[in-house]
Amino acid sequence: MYILADNITSPLGNTTSQNYLTVKAGRSALRQYQADDISTESYTAARFTQEQWDEMAINGLTRFEALAACSAQRAIRNAGIDITRDDVVFILSTTKANIENLTTGDEPQEAFTPSTAAKHIAAYLRFTSTPIVVCNACISGLAAIITANRLLESKAYKYAAVCGADVLSRFTFSGFQSLKALSADECRPFDIERIGLNLGEAAATIVLSDQPSEFHIAKGAIRNDAFHISSPSKNADGAFLALQDIGAKEISEDLAFVNAHGTATLFNDQMEAVALSRAGLSHVPTNSLKSYFGHTMGAAGVLETIISLEALKDNIVLASRGFEENGTSVDVNIISENRPTTNKAFIKMISGFGGGNAAILVTQKVADTPEIAHTQQCHIHTSHSITINPHRATLDGQMLDINDTRKNLLVEIYKRFIGDYPKFYKMDPLSRLGFVASELLLRNVKEKVESIILFNNSSSVIADKNYWATAIDKDNSFPSPAHFVYTLPNIVTGEIAMRNGIHGETSFYIIPTKDKNVIDKIIYSFTLQESFSSAITGWIDYPDDEHFSAELRIIRKS
Amino acid sequence: MEELISQLKENIIEVLNLEEMSPNDIDNDAPLFGEGLGLDSIDALELIVMMEKEYGIKLKNPAEGKEIFKSINVMAHYIDEHRTK
């Protein structure tokens, strides 16, 4: 589908062009900070100033919500569309939304879940359709663009406003610190001296339309490594497959550049270099924007797509700031100074926790070429289904015989029906629920299932609270990296993918209510893709021990 | 040392959620990572947190863990030498 308008709101400015021009001039939003509200040690990050926060403040909205609302509003104004129409959808990409509400008091859990934030932002902006949150860890931004693209292709909506946003708080910062992923100095993507990433806060919005215009999200793909929930695949399996899916090799000569994730951690950049090499793109000019904005988490995919788009318009390949010497084991063409290009397409790639990898191909139309109409029809059927709630588990309509249905039901199911995967005990409740449900669902299934698309309302609230309990006491803080990883709800899709060797798409959506209409639209638009063959899909929510529920099914192309 | 070893094993079982294991199941000389207990990179980071929390040992560089977490015996000796609490 087509890009109608966009906005970036970052510490570098409130408009796309302010942000682009600053980056083009080689300047960065990264600054050195002394120990403060989010860190007990000095650090480097890209943060808004208090003055900037004051400018964005909106009565009744949290600072996360206000940031996202400001960016979305600016983009929508540029697009000139009426968002109160029911064929306009608001898609929010975020990893932790209002999580700082958990860190500051005893608010009810609705106060910090992403679905509440999405509701507030959508209501403030006067959207009337149900907002959708894409919560796929670091790949959320691209996953949201891909979701929007598919929803428009399936004609579920005519316009989509995709807003990616995250803010820095002690919750997120301490988590990345516990994973030893942060660099104290400015990050150096792909460089031999890279030692880690810097975090950043920003919001970025793209408005997509089904009406042809100059810039086209031509293709998009999401693929899982099925390797580990926090370490990228050594062979770059998922990232390579995503590049392959969007036909990267075939169009490599037409690419102006590849904009990599390039977080500047040892493992990510190595993995991406391998993916580019396997996909036949080693020679294509490649950059990372992390040393300008830091890793902006839920905003990253959207923000970096917009900056790349501006560079494409400007016929420039932007320098990968902080790069001097290739520090990966394969050849990769990292660009260290701005240079001109005449090519009219780029690839944006991204990878994240839960084993997810995504890539999109953006093209600029040089002449009016007729578009291929998407008239493909897809018939799907459900082959198996399972429901689990605190009272019972039912597989294909048959109630399972479980003795203890009150206490530790999931452990009972694990011991009775599974028993050979001790990693189960390391999982958070949401992942345990998804794991046992998928194990039961797949137990009599011989044919492989290719992808996983799950939905819920309460994100990863239990894991959020469990992690925060390890970090909250400033004087006695021992943040647990294992707990932190599970504060991303899409980890459940990664656990299922790993267990079953699923390398297809894994996606996680959060919606304000269990709205069947919205869920069906997302699933239908997913099944329209040529590559679709089968998926585990459905509802999986764990707000607390008394109200959890899994309703999963296997769908296949008929 | 015996006491430290058995306490260490209990700590490891707890922080790494090795639910179905008892201290007797863990061989003092067996490798903790790879084959042994099948631990992974997040477990290694979790052990670094445990070293600081339980024994007051701060590992600046996570790569140091590789040597220290070789086996229960190696770990116990390291803790014995470096502990501050």
What does DSSP assign to residue A489? T
B64 touches chain A (CB under 8 A): no
Predicted local distance difference test score (pLDDT) of residue B38: 77
- The reported pLDDT for the residue numbered A370 is 53
B46 touches chain A (CB under 8 A): yes
Mean residue pLDDT of chain A comes to: 95
Among A191-195, A223-227, A360-364, A474-478, whose mean pLDDT is lowest? A474-478
The residues, ordered by sequence, that sit 6+ positions from A367 with a Cβ below 8 Å of its Cβ are none
pLDDT score of A110 more than 90: no
- Kindly compute the dihedral angle of the four CA atoms of residues A525, A356, A273, A19, in this order, to the nearest 10 degrees: 70
* Beta strands A43-46 and A132-134, pairing class: unpaired
Is B18 in Cβ contact with A422 (below 8 Å)?
Answer: yes
Look at residue A418 and tell me whether its pLDDT is greater than 90: yes
Contacts of B53 in chain A (CB under 8 A): 478
B53 touches A: beta carbon within 8 Å: yes
3-state SS assignment for residue A500: helix
Residues of B within 8 A of A180 (CB-CB) are 45, 48, 62
ipTM: 0.93
Q: How far apart, in whole angstroms, are the C-alpha atoms of residue A289 and residue A24?
A: 11
Work out the number of other CB atoms within 10 angstroms of the CB of residue A197: 25
Helix/strand number for chain A, H first, E second: 17, 22
The mean pLDDT value for A215-228 works out to 96
Residue A482, both tokens: 């294992």
pLDDT for position A225: 97
Contacts of A221 (CB under 8 A, 6+ apart): A146, A241, A242, A243, A245, A246, A358, A359, A360, A505, A531
Residue of B nearest to A415 (CA): B20
* Cβ distance of B16 and A178 shorter than 8 Å: no
Give the residue on A whose Cα is nearest the Cα of B62. Answer: A180
Closest residue to B49, CB basis, from A230, A481, A485: A481
The answer to whether residue A403 scores a pLDDT higher than 80 is: no
Number of residue pairs across A and B with CB atoms under 8 Å? 40
Q: Give the pLDDT band of residue A374 (cuts 50, 70, 90).
A: low
Q: Who's near A402: CB < 8 A, 6+ residues apart?
A: A392, A393, A409, A412, A413, A416
Q: Which amino acid appears at position A129 of this protein?
A: S
Nearest C-alpha of chain B: how many angstroms from A164?
28
Residue of chain B minimizing CA distance to A479: B49
Hey, of B11, B45, B54, B66, which one would you mutate to test binding to chain A, going by the most A CBs within 10 A of its CB? Answer: B45
Residues B67 and B54: their CA atoms lie apart, in Å, by 19
Is residue A555 a contact partner of residue A382, using CB atoms and an 8 Å limit?
Answer: yes
Task: Supply the pLDDT for residue A117.
Answer: 97
Are A422 and B53 within 8 A, CB to CB? Answer: no
**B42: which chain A residues are within 8 Å (Cβ-Cβ)?**
229-230, 481-482, 485
Three state DSSP letters for A38-100: CCCCCEEEECCCHHHHHHHCCCCCCHHHHHHHHHHHHHHHHHCCCCCCCCEEEEEECCCCCCH
Going by pLDDT thresholds of 50, 70 and 90, the confidence category of residue A371 is low
Instruction: For residue B18, list chain A residues with Cβ-Cβ distance below 8 A.
Output: 422, 425
Domains located in chain B, CATH noted: 2-82 (1.10.1200.10)
**In A, which residues are within 8 Å of B39 by CB distance?**
none
| DSSP classification of residue A418 | I
Residue A87 reports pLDDT greater than 90:
yes
Q: Angle at CA A247, nearest 5°, toward A507 and A274?
A: 75
Of B45, B52, B53, the CB nearest to A481: B45
* CB < 8 Å to B52, chain A: 478
What φ, ψ does residue A454 adopt, rounded to 5°? -120, 160
pLDDT at A520 over 80: yes
Predicted local confidence at residue A457, as pLDDT: 97
Measured in degrees and rounded to the nearest 5, phi and psi for residue A512 equal -60, -35
Q: How far apart are CA A109 and CA A510, in angstroms?
A: 14
Output the pLDDT for position B63: 82
For residue A482, the chain B residues in CB contact (below 8 A) are: 16-17, 42-43, 45-46
Residue A474's pLDDT is what? 82
Confidence band of B74 (pLDDT split at 50, 70, 90):
very high
Q: Which of A255, A481, A493, A242 is nearest to A362 (CA)?
A: A255
**pLDDT bracket for residue A522 (50, 70, 90):** very high
Closest by CA position to A232, among listed A178, A180, A271: A271
Q: Tens of pLDDT along B15-47?
A: 999 988 999 999 999 888 877 777 889 999 999
Q: What is the pLDDT of residue A223?
A: 98
Average pLDDT over residues A294-319: 98
- Give the nearest chain B residue to A427 (CA atoms): B17
Cα separation, A493 vs A544, in Å, equals: 19
**pLDDT value of residue B65:** 87
Check CB contact under 8 Å for B45 and A231: no
Locate the chain B residue with the closest alpha carbon to A229: B42
- Give me the domains of chain A, ranges plus CATH numbers: 2-364 (3.40.47.10), 380-557 (3.40.47.10)
d(CA A315, CA A309): 10
Q: What is the pLDDT of residue A401?
A: 86
**Tens-place pLDDT, residues A32-51:** 999 999 999 999 999 999 99
pLDDT at residue B3 is higher than 90: yes
Average pLDDT, integer, range A71-96: 97
